[in-house]
Amino acid sequence: MTNFIAVISGKGGVGKTTTVINLGCALTQFGRDVLLLDANLQTPHLALYLGSPKLPHSLNDVIKGRKHVRDAAFLHPSGIKVVPASLSIDHMKSTKMGNMADILTDLAGTTEIVLLDTAPGFGDEFRLVLTAARKAIVVTNPELPAVADAVKAVQLAEEYGATVLGVVINRVDNTPSELSAKNIQMMINKPILMSIPEDSNVQVALSIQQPLVHSHPESPAAIAFKHLAAALTGQVYKPSLSEEHEQKQASPSSQAAFFSSLLNRLRGDQSAGAQVIQGKAH
């Protein structure tokens, strides 16, 4: 069975692509078969973030019927499979996302988990992707505009028939002005899957076009992405002692969110995370 999960936000720039890449990399490291699909045709970033701007095939070829989706995937050196969207402006203008459901049907059974990177906003693309994927994770930052748009994203995703697995709070810096995980959970009314700390290594990984989880596995955000992968698959991830040390120094709140999510599960909220990705359990 293939799990299709769209990573959504409403507001732009909150960390969807970063989450898709690093959650995908962490799941791959945990032995899952993962494919990343760039369902952001206007402003695609997966190929840029992963250093593959000159790929011969893209999702645009698949949408136009020129290529089977299986043959449009490339294997990144970190082990993740990726179907990028074209960076060309001509391809962007000439590609309309209409047959996403058919494309996902073609992928069904070929891989275990498909993470779909999505565009900000709530246009036609959003509707088509959410209708096809049927599962979503919402990414937000701990600030009001991002959370307000996340609330809308959740409501629309559900209207389009998708189940929202939970919330990733990204770029948590523990400053007094930030919204707390508790308040964010109250506003969005979905379980907090993980808090990812603000981490300058994210930009370093971007500059060398590697997933952070691959290039900086002991960095605070990488550890949090691994916790997220573990929470979604219901498996246990125990950071090494050096990883724990890094995390304690940099991110007390990711632990807090982890335990608050755990608490929800203990209270019996089935949607709160215990293996929300179905299939092989480790």
Ligand X SMILES: Nc1ncnc2c1ncn2[C@@H]1O[C@H](COP(=O)(O)OP(=O)(O)OP(=O)(O)O)[C@@H](O)[C@H]1O
Residues contributing to the site for ligand X (CB under 6 A): 9, 12-18, 43, 45, 120, 170-171, 196, 198-199, 202-203, 206, 221
Q: Is residue 42 exposed (0-12), middle (13-18) or buried (19+ Cβ within 10 Å)?
A: middle
The tokens of 28 are what?
Answer: 């791959």
Smallest gap from Cβ 68 to ligand X, in A, equals 26
Q: Contact at 8 Å (CB) between 237 and 213?
A: no
Minimum CB distance to ligand X smaller for 103 or for 212: 212
- The one-letter code for the residue type at 273 is G
Q: How many residues does the chain have?
A: 282
How many of the other CB atoms lie within 10 Å of CB of 143?
15
Phi-psi region of 228 (alpha: psi -120 to 50; beta: other; left: phi over 0): alpha
Q: CA-CA distance, 230 to 263, in Å (whole number)?
A: 16
Minimum CB distance to ligand X smaller for 43 or for 131: 43
Minimum CB distance to Mg ion smaller for 206 or for 230: 206
Smallest gap from Cβ 15 to Mg ion, in A, equals 8
Smallest gap from Cβ 174 to Mg ion, in A, equals 25
**Pseudo-torsion of CA 233, 238, 244, 246, nearest 10°?**
-40
- The one-letter code for the residue type at 91 is H
140 binds, among Mg ion, ligand X, none (CB under 5 to 8 A by kind): none
79 binds, among Mg ion, ligand X, none (CB under 5 to 8 A by kind): none
Minimum CB distance to Mg ion smaller for 11 or for 45: 45
Q: Which stretch binds Mg ion (CB under 5 A): 37-45, 209-217, 242-250, 259-267?
A: 37-45
Does residue 170 belong to the site contacting Mg ion (CB under 5 A)? no
Is residue 279 classed as helix, strand or coil in its secondary structure?
coil
Minimum CB distance to ligand X smaller for 112 or for 205: 205
User: What are the φ/ψ torsions at residue 239 (nearest 5 degrees)?
Assistant: -60, 150
Smallest gap from Cβ 208 to ligand X, in A, equals 12
Which of 3, 17, 247, 261 lies at the binding interface for Mg ion (CB under 5 A)?
17
203 binds, among Mg ion, ligand X, none (CB under 5 to 8 A by kind): ligand X
- The one-letter code for the residue type at 128 is L
196 binds, among Mg ion, ligand X, none (CB under 5 to 8 A by kind): ligand X
Minimum CB distance to ligand X smaller for 15 or for 84: 15
Smallest gap from Cβ 93 to ligand X, in A, equals 19
Q: CA-CA distance, 270 to 272, in Å (whole number)?
A: 5
Looking at residues 42 to 101 of the shown chain, list those that interact with Mg ion (rule: CB under 5 A): 45
How many of the other CB atoms lie within 10 Å of CB of 30?
17
5 binds, among ligand X, Mg ion, none (CB under 5 to 8 A by kind): none
User: What are the φ/ψ torsions at residue 212 (nearest 5 degrees)?
Assistant: -55, -40
Minimum CB distance to Mg ion smaller for 117 or for 243: 117
Which of 6, 8, 9, 16 lies at the binding interface for Mg ion (CB under 5 A)?
16
Angle between helices 16-29 and 220-233 (to 10 degrees): 70
Residues that bind Mg ion (CB under 5 A): 16-17, 45
